[in-house]
Amino acid sequence: MNALENWLSQATRHLSKDSVAQVRTEIQEHYESAREAALNLGATIEAADRSALTALGDARAANRQYRQVLLTSAEARLLRDGNREARVFCSHQWLKWTLLTVPVAALSASVALYFGGATEWARVLFAAALSLSPLFAAFFLPIYTQARGRVFRIVKWIVMISGLLLAFGPDALKWSWLLISCLWPMIWIEGTRISLRRKLREDQWPKQLYL
């Protein structure tokens, strides 16, 4: 592996395939120009290679900066898989309506259980209906602007945390480790989406980035 290859592999660590291709092209072009300029000034081939590589600087520092502006492999995966989910949900009418009825069914069951005297189960089911409703409703709501997206996300988190607190009742604090574990995947996805919103122009946002 030559020195430039080594630099490129360090600078492109954890970037998505497309980002890696983009970085490789631009850095190779740059390197060639710098090398050519050094050769024109009378440097030897070795000296020209060395000066072109030195001018690029630290590959790890470049990698840190690239990861702030280009898609990482984890972000590209989330973007791809999140879209797949949305496509599956929205492409079948029956699936769309079945999903919408899940929170409604849970809510109806909780009401029935409450009047049947099983208040504990009613509380848990009501909490489940509450927590699930923003997740399922998200795909069907007309959220196509940043302002609507921001409002939806605030409401989503308030509703979901309230649902979980309601499910655990007065023991919520004792079970906080479980609450955090339950919410961790969502927190990770939310964090990745924040990063994606920063990196992509709004006209490139799929619907999931508004949610």
Partner 1 sequence: MNFKGTLPTLILEALAPEPSHGYRIAQQIKERSRGVLDFKEGTLYPALHKLNSEGLIDSYEGVEKGRPRRYYRITESGKAMLAKDRAEWRELSRAVTLILGEA
For residue 178, which amino acid is it? L
Q: Determine, following the binding rule CB under 8 A, whether residue 15 of this chain makes contact with partner 1.
A: no
CB-nearer residue toward partner 1: 42 or 170: 42
Which residue pairs, CB below 8 angstroms and at least 24 apart, start in 105-114?
A: 106/132
CB-nearer residue toward partner 1: 197 or 207: 197
From 200, 205, 206, 207, residue interacting with partner 1 (rule: CB under 8 A): 200
Q: Determine, following the binding rule CB under 8 A, whether residue 171 of this chain makes contact with partner 1.
A: no
C-alpha span between 10 and 59 (Å, rounded): 6
- Cα 131 off chain centre by: 20
CB-nearer residue toward partner 1: 30 or 87: 30
Tokens coding 164: 């979980």
From 15, 20, 27, 113, residue interacting with partner 1 (rule: CB under 8 A): 27
Q: What is the closest distance, in whole angstroms, from the C-beta atom of residue 119 to partner 1 in the complex?
A: 52
Pattern 49-68, partner 1, x by CB under 8 A? ------xxxxx-xx--xx-x
Binding region for partner 1 (CB under 8 A) out of 22-30, 82-90, 99-107, 161-169: 22-30
Residue 13 burial (C-beta neighbours within 10 Å; 0-12, 13-18, 19+): middle
Query: What is the helix (H) or strand (E) element at residue 167, kind and residue range?
Result: helix 146-168
